[in-house]
Amino acid sequence: MDEIQKVLIKAGRKDLAQKYYEKVVQTLNMTASKGKLSDNDLDTFQAIADDAGGELYRGYSGRGMYGDTCIGITGNATKIIETAGEHGIKGAITDSMGLDDIVYWPKYPDDQRDEE
């Protein structure tokens, strides 16, 4: 969640925070259709995970995503981001998952959830 969203939510304007988030996602020029990755995108993210020694994480809902889900990769964030850049994938966001990090890309929506 960025500072603008935090201020809007703190001011009791969750509706505006949601609209702001939607606008940010829209401006990222999403390449995947809503809720479903293309087979090519999925193959690319699997290759990134393999090359970076990480694990693909399907259906991740990160900070400020309000329940929307996207593709992510768990493991060493620095290595994952560098590897993604080598594959031409930009716009990564990171979160901590206890012992591991997750790197995720909201502009690549994915409603397929991993089994927990």
Same domain, 26 and 41: no
Q: Show Cβ contacts of residue 25 under 8 Å, excluding neighbours closer than 6 positions.
A: 68, 106, 107
What digits encode the pLDDT tens for the residues 54-75?
999 999 998 888 888 999 999 9
What's residue 11's pLDDT?
87
What digits encode the pLDDT tens for the residues 17-28?
787 777 666 555
What's residue 28's pLDDT?
52
What's residue 89's pLDDT?
92
Low-confidence ranges of the chain (pLDDT < 70): 1-2, 23-36, 114-116
What H or E segment, with its residue span, contains residue 18? Answer: helix 14-27
Same domain, 57 and 78: yes
Same domain, 75 and 112: yes
Same domain, 47 and 62: yes
Same domain, 6 and 45: no
What's residue 8's pLDDT?
78
Same domain, 10 and 65: no
What's the pTM value of the predicted model, to 2 decimals? Answer: 0.68
Q: How many domains does the chain have?
A: 2
Distances (CA, A) of 1 to 23, 33, 44, 53, 65: 14, 23, 26, 27, 8
Same domain, 11 and 68: no
Containing structural domain, residue 16: 1-30
